[in-house]
Chain A
C-alpha cells in the first residue's frame, strides 16, 4: 500500500502518515436492539468499490477527515472534513 492521500489540511501525503478508522457508519438509535448494535459494532459492508471512510493525519496535523476511496484500486476520489451539525448523532 503506497498510494497518496490528500489531507484536507496538508495536501497529498504518503498513506503511511495516516491512521485508518474504517467505514463511515451510522450509530444506531438509543433503543437499538442487540442485533442492531452488533451490526454497528462488528459488521462492515466491505464493499468492492467506492467507500466512505475515516482517516486521520496521524503523523501530521492530526486532522480527522472522510475519504472516498475505491477499495479495488485505492484510487481516492475525494477527501473532506465532514460538515457536521453541532451535537449531531451521525
Chain B
C-alpha cells in the first residue's frame, strides 16, 4: 500500500502534514485525508473486527455507509473513519476487540463458534437457568457489538437548529446539482445537502450547499433532520428533491468480507480522491459495467487487472475469495485460482430510494434489472437522477455464488449475517421477509440495508421459491444513517429557576436544593435554630417561587367562583381567603391564597411547582367560558418574602410610615404599603403559625427589601424549617400530603367546598364523594414514644398496611414527633390510637385533628 503521486482530482493538501496516533504509532497524513485514507496509505488496511465473529474487516464502501471502518476516535465510538477528516493529535483506536485489532482473542468465535452460534442462538441456548441471564447478557454484550459508549463525556457539544427552505435537495451528484440550480432560478431558499466532504467548497449560485451533511430521514409533516457536524438541522421544506443516486451492491460469495474486497466506488474514491493505491493485482467480479468503471481508476493507480469475471451472461460460477490473516490473497472461480490482493465486486447499482419510501412512496421490484425502484412519489417531493431507477442495463446477479463446502458467505457484513443464517430462518418458518429481518437482523445494522437489502430478498426468494416481487421490500424507517446519540439529545439543557434573591442566599451560605425547577435554600445553617427564631423572635423566608396570577376584569369574581370550591364573590376588597383548586374528578389540584384587590381584581397565589399548570388551567377554562377577564402570570415579575415571628409587626412598623397595628392590618388583610421605600402588596397570612406578613414586591427591588428586613434582625430561614413550622400547624402541602386521588372530603377540608354555590369545577364529584363517604382520611398524628417515622412509612393495623405517612418531623417547640398520615376513615377520629412502622417495628401514635401548635390561632391573629 502506498501513496500515489499527485492525482488530478485529489482532495489532499500535500503541503500540510497532520499527525495522529493509532495503536501508539504516529501516522502521518495530509490535510484533506480521512483517518481511513491515511491509515490505508500507511499500509494499515485492517480497520475493524466484525460484529459477531470478530473477523478482520477493511474498507468496503469508502463513503461512510457501512460498519467496516468503525473505530474509536478521541473516545467517540463508532466513527466511520473512511469519511472522517483527519485531526492533528487525534487518538484512533480499534474497538470490539480483546487485545488488538490484529490479535483479537474474540476471533475464536469465527474459528469454532460457527456451528454453535447460528442466528438467534442466544434466544435458545442462554435461557436457562433464567437467573443467569444477566450474566449471559453481560458476556454477550462484551463479546459482540460495536464500540463502547464512553463513560465520560468526550466533550462534544451538540445543538439543534430549526430551519426552513423553499426547496431542499438531498444529494449533490449531477442530478441534484442540476435540480438545485434549476430551482434557484425561481428564487432564493434552495438548500443542497450532500454526505461527501468534497462538495463542501461547491459554489452554486443561489444555492446554500451543506457538505458533509446527511439527511437522516423523512418524518411526518415533511420534517427532514440533517446531520451537519455537531449540529442537527431540522429542515422543513416546501419541496423536497431526492437525488440520492444509487448504491453499489456487493456480491455474495465465500470470503466476500475479506480485507481487500471492495466495491467499485471505494476503489475510485481511494485512488482519485485520496491518492491511495489499494492493491497491486486486482480481480474484478461484476454483474454490470463496473469493470469498465473501475478500470479507469485501476489504470490510473497502476494496478494490474489480473482477471475479470463478468456475470452478465446469466451464468452462476462458483466464486470464492481466499485470504490469509483476513487479507484477500487469491480468488478461485470455477476451480481456477488467481493470486491477487484486491477484489472489486459489483452486483449492480441499487437506487437509494429510502428517503422517498419514508416520505410515502411505494417500492417496486424491477425484475429485468434486479433492483427495487420507487413509484407513486407523493406530492411535495420529487426524485431526480438515478434514484428514480434510471440505472441503465445491468444483469441480475445470483443470490449467491458458492461452491460446495465453502466458507462463510456474508449477506450482511454489518450484522455478520451469512447465507446460512437466512436459510436457517426460512427453514425455521419465518415466512415473511419482515419477520426474517427481525430474526436475523439483516438490514438492521449501521448501513441500514444499503449493502444487504436486495441480496437478502434474492436469497429469501430463492429459499422460499417465491419471486422477488412477491417477497417484497422491508419497510424503510428512519434513521437512514447512523446518528450519534448526542445529536439526538441535542444540547444538554436542565431548566433551573432562581429567585431574584438567589445571590443573597448564596452569600448567606444557604444549602440549595431542587424544588421543582427552582433552586431554593434548604436551610442557612441549623434548622432548629431557624425554627426557634421564627417562634421566639423574627424570621424571613424567600417565597418568590410561589405562582402569582392577576385575575382582572368585570367577570373576575364570577370566574373564580366557578373555578374554586371556595366563595370569593362576597369577599371585601382588601381581604384574603385560602383557596383550593379541584378538578372535575373532585381531585385536589393546587392551593394558595386569593386576595381581592378591588371589585374587579384578584391576586391569586399558587404552589411553587403549580404556577404554570394553574395558569394554563385558568386560561383553558376561560377559553371555554368566555368570561371578560384577563389572566396575567406575574410569577417572575414579583418577588415575595414572608416575615414571621412575634416581632414581625415591630419590624414592619420600623420599615414603613403606614399604620401596621392589628386593626390597621388584621389577619387575612391585603394592603398596599411602602416598605423600606418599596411598594409592596402585604398579605397578612400565616403558613408558619406565627404572626406574619407576606410582602410581594417588584423583583428588582427584592434584594433591597430583603436587606432592610434582615437589618431588623430577621433570621433567614429555609425550606426545611418552614416544613417543620407548617407541620406544627398541620398545614397540608399539595403534592406532598395529597396525591392524585385526594379530594376535599378525604383531605379533611370539607369546609372549603361550598356545595350551595352554583356550578364549580369539581362540585358534582365532591357532592358524590360526600354522599358515598371516603375510605381514607388525611389526619395529623403524634408519636407516643420518641420514634420518628419516615415520610412514606406505613400505618399498620394487625401487622397489615392500613395507610401511609406523608409528612413527619420533630417539633422542638412541642417536644413531640408529629406528622400527617392517610388512615382508614374508621381510624380517623381524634384520639384514635394507630401504629406506624418505624425501622420495621410498629410504634404507637395518636390521631390528632387541627393544628398541633397554637390550635386556636391566637398567635396568628394577635
Known A-B contacts A19-B616, A87-B558; A64 and B623 likewise in contact (beta carbons under 8 Å): yes
Chain B residues within an 8 Å CB radius of A27:
584
Chain B residues within an 8 Å CB radius of A86:
555, 625-628
Known A-B contacts A37-B768, A41-B765, A64-B623; A30 and B162 likewise in contact (beta carbons under 8 Å): no
Interface size class of A (residues with CB under 8 A): 20 to 34
Known A-B contacts A21-B620, A62-B619; A89 and B759 likewise in contact (beta carbons under 8 Å): yes
Assess the A30–B759 pair: CB atoms within 8 A.
yes
Instruction: Other than A2-B220, A4-B221, A86-B555, give 12 A-B pairs with Cβ distance below 8 A.
Output: A2-B223, A14-B223, A14-B236, A19-B616, A21-B620, A28-B764, A32-B764, A84-B623, A86-B626, A86-B627, A86-B628, A88-B626
Cβ of B186 under 8 Å from chain A: no
The minimal Cβ–Cβ distance linking B484 to chain A, given in whole angstroms, is 20
Cβ of B654 under 8 Å from chain A: no
Provide the bound-state CA to CA distance between A90 and B626, in Å: 10
Provide the bound-state CA to CA distance between A62 and B617, in Å: 11
The minimal Cβ–Cβ distance linking B171 to chain A, given in whole angstroms, is 22
Chain A residues within an 8 Å CB radius of B765:
37, 41
Looking at chain A's contact residues, is the secondary structure mostly helix, strand, loop, or mixed? Answer: loop
Cβ of A47 under 8 Å from chain B: no
Provide the bound-state CA to CA distance between A14 and B670, in Å: 43
Q: Which of A40, A58, A82 contacts B584 (CB 8 A)?
A: A40
Cβ of B377 under 8 Å from chain A: no
Residue of B with least CB distance to A54: B620
Provide the bound-state CA to CA distance between A88 and B759, in Å: 12
Provide the bound-state CA to CA distance between A28 and B584, in Å: 10
Query: Which of A27-53 touch B at CB < 8 Å?
Result: 27-28, 30-32, 34, 37, 40-42
Chain B residues within an 8 Å CB radius of A82:
623-624
Interface size class of B (residues with CB under 8 A): 20 to 34
Chain B residues within an 8 Å CB radius of A81:
623
Chain B residues within an 8 Å CB radius of A90:
624-625
Assess the B764–A64 pair: CB atoms within 8 A.
no
Assess the A2–B219 pair: CB atoms within 8 A.
yes
Cβ of B585 under 8 Å from chain A: yes
Chain A residues within an 8 Å CB radius of B219:
2
Assess the A3–B584 pair: CB atoms within 8 A.
no
Chain B residues within an 8 Å CB radius of A87:
555, 558, 625-627
Please list the residues of chain B having a beta carbon within 8 angstroms of any beta carbon in chain A. 162, 219-221, 223, 234, 236, 555, 558, 583-585, 615-616, 619-620, 623-628, 759, 763-765, 768
The minimal Cβ–Cβ distance linking B111 to chain A, given in whole angstroms, is 47
Assess the B220–A3 pair: CB atoms within 8 A.
yes
Residue of B with least CB distance to A56: B616
Chain A residues within an 8 Å CB radius of B555:
86-87
Assess the A37–B619 pair: CB atoms within 8 A.
no
Provide the bound-state CA to CA distance between A76 and B765, in Å: 34
Assess the A58–B616 pair: CB atoms within 8 A.
yes
Chain A residues within an 8 Å CB radius of B220:
1-3, 74
Provide the bound-state CA to CA distance between A89 and B584, in Å: 13
Assess the A56–B584 pair: CB atoms within 8 A.
no
Query: What are 7 A-to-B residue pairs whose CB atoms are below 8 Å?
Result: A2-B219, A4-B221, A41-B765, A56-B616, A74-B221, A87-B625, A88-B626
Residue of B with least CB distance to A66: B623
Assess the A2–B558 pair: CB atoms within 8 A.
no
The minimal Cβ–Cβ distance linking B741 to chain A, given in whole angstroms, is 13
Provide the bound-state CA to CA distance between A2 and B615, in Å: 26
Residue of B with least CB distance to A4: B221
Provide the bound-state CA to CA distance between A66 and B625, in Å: 14
The minimal Cβ–Cβ distance linking B637 to chain A, given in whole angstroms, is 16
Provide the bound-state CA to CA distance between A19 and B620, in Å: 11
Provide the bound-state CA to CA distance between A84 and B622, in Å: 9
The minimal Cβ–Cβ distance linking A5 to chain B, given in whole angstroms, is 9
Assess the A88–B764 pair: CB atoms within 8 A.
no
Provide the bound-state CA to CA distance between A15 and B625, in Å: 26
The minimal Cβ–Cβ distance linking B563 to chain A, given in whole angstroms, is 13
Provide the bound-state CA to CA distance between A37 and B584, in Å: 8
Chain A residues within an 8 Å CB radius of B624:
82, 84, 88, 90
The minimal Cβ–Cβ distance linking B560 to chain A, given in whole angstroms, is 13
Assess the A30–B764 pair: CB atoms within 8 A.
yes
Residue of B162, B583, B625, B627 contacting most chain A CB atoms (<10 Å): B625
Chain B residues within an 8 Å CB radius of A84:
623-626
Q: Which of A2, A19, A37 contacts B221 (CB 8 A)?
A: A2
Query: Which of A7-35 touch B at CB < 8 Å?
Result: 14-15, 19, 21, 27-28, 30-32, 34
The minimal Cβ–Cβ distance linking A75 to chain B, given in whole angstroms, is 10
Chain B residues within an 8 Å CB radius of A74:
220-221
Known A-B contacts A1-B220, A58-B616, A65-B623; A14 and B162 likewise in contact (beta carbons under 8 Å): yes
The minimal Cβ–Cβ distance linking B812 to chain A, given in whole angstroms, is 44
